[in-house]
Each structure stands twice: as C-alpha cells, then as structure tokens.
Structure 1
Amino acid sequence: MKETAGDFKLKRSFTNAFRGFCWVLKTEWNFRIHLGMCVIAVMLGFALEISLFEWLALILCSALVIVSEVLNTALEYLADAVHPEVDRRVGRSKDTAAAGVMIAAVAAFVVGAIVFLPKIWDWLTKLIEN
C-alpha cells in the first residue's frame, strides 16, 4: 500500500510528538517525578483492584498532571527564547504556568487519596486481624 501525503503528515506529527516527549523526559526533573508517581499509581491500582470508575479518575488526573507539566515546560522554553533577559512579566507567566501544574498535582493527590486510602486501610486491617 502506497503512503499518501496525509499518512506522511500523520507519521511526522507522531514522530515530532514522540521526540518532544523524549526530550521532556530527558531534561525535566519534575516531569520524571510526575511520571514516576503515575507509574506507582497504576501499579497500586492493579494491586488494589480498583473499579472502572476509579481507573477513569486515576487516568484523567494522571494525564492532567503530565499534560500540565509538558505545557509548562513548553511555555518556559518559549518565554526564554523570546525574551532571554530577566523580565518580571515573563517570570509571572512562568509562575502562573507552574501554579497550573501544582493545582493539577494537588487534585491528583486528593483523588489518589480518595481512591487508595480506604483500600490500603482495609488491607492493613485484614493484615493485622490475621
């Protein structure tokens, strides 16, 4: 089957996105922390056999944190490229983007606590009783 121009654009789009993901993974410490927390949450989800609704909440919150971190990184690098010297306005835009990541991370933490703490408590209670 012959590759069309649309196929080529789609392939290039995914290649660029994957390159961006790898670059953020390689260069951004906070991204690696958030991604690691997502992996831990998924492992806990399997171990504690969470419900479909809980999986949806977990996936949406995890995606929100990761997307927020990627967009924050993109904004920071773009701001530095456009205005490399220190500027209060650029600093405020960076701080605001970082606040978005923090809000997403806190929300994900709260959802994780709601999903996991009762299950962990039940598991510990059963462990102690036996």
Structure 2
Amino acid sequence: MGSQDPLKPNEWIRLKKSFSHAFAGIIKTFMSERNFKIHTGAAVIVIVCGFVFRLSVLEWAVMFILIGGMLALELMNTAVEHVVDLITKKSHPLAKAAKDAAAGAVCVFAAVSCIIGLLIFLSKLF
C-alpha cells in the first residue's frame, strides 16, 4: 500500500475488462428492463429542464447524485431479481420478499428524488 508504481500491464487489462463488464451490464439492463428505460428517460428530461431553468452548480450536483443513485439502485434491483431467479424458479415467500424489498428500495429513492426535484424546479418558478 502506498506504492507509487504504475499499474503493471496485466493489471491494466484486468481494469479494462472490469469496466467493459460494467458497461455491458448497464447496456444489457437498458435493453431488457422497462423501468431502467423509464428512469433513463426521466433523467434526460431532468437534464434538459436543468438547462432550461439554469440550475446552479449545487443544484446540478444534487440532480446528478439523484440520477446516479436512481440508475444505480435500478441496476441493483435488476441484479437481485436475476440472482433470485437463478436460485429458484419456484414461487417462494423469501424469493418474493427479496424481490419486493429491492423494488421497494427503488420506489423509496424515486419518491424522494421526485420530491427533491420538485423543490428545486418549483423554486425556480415561484
């Protein structure tokens, strides 16, 4: 730890592969998950509105935290659903509980994000 040595060539390859896998996961989720598309569309609308309403730097920071958090949480929800489906195809109360909790986390963050977004954008109107 604390070494100033640059990454060795095969470490760069591993790093590149890890980013490649991450982007592949984002793209696959976008292509296959309706809710991720909805959240991405909402993010585009929020960004356009941010330019229209001339958000401050702090307001942009809040918006990007909310957008990034929402998309990241939707990716995690998808991961939970896939893992549960991999473990069991049968209807099981714990499988349902896991999926419902992950979806609930997305719902809570979406609601809070909407409230914060409304506070920011409505303050620009009034």
With normalisation by structure 2, the TM-score equals 0.91
Partner of 2:104: 99
Candidates 32, 36, 47, aligned match of 1:31:
36
Q: 1:16-27 alignment to 2 at 5 Å?
A: 16-27=21-32
Partner of 1:117: 122
Which residue type is aligned with residue 51 of structure 2?
F
Is 2:125 the counterpart of 1:85?
A: no
Partner of 1:6: 11
Structure 2 gap ranges (5+): 1-7
1:43-68 deviation digits (Å, cap 9, x = unpaired): 11111111111111111111111111
* Whole-Å separation in 2 of the counterparts to 1:54 and 1:15: 31
Superposed structure 1 runs of 4+ greater than 6 Å apart: none
Partner of 1:126: none
Q: Which structure would you say has the larger RCO, counting Cα contacts within 8 Å and 6 or more residues apart? A: 1
Is 2:98 the counterpart of 1:58?
A: no
* Whole-Å separation in 1 of the counterparts to 2:103 and 2:97: 10
Percent identity between the two aligned chains: 30
1:1-38 deviation digits (Å, cap 9, x = unpaired): xx800110011001101110110000000000001101
RMSD over aligned CA atoms reads 1.1
Partner of 2:5: none
Which residue type is aligned with residue 52 of structure 1?
V
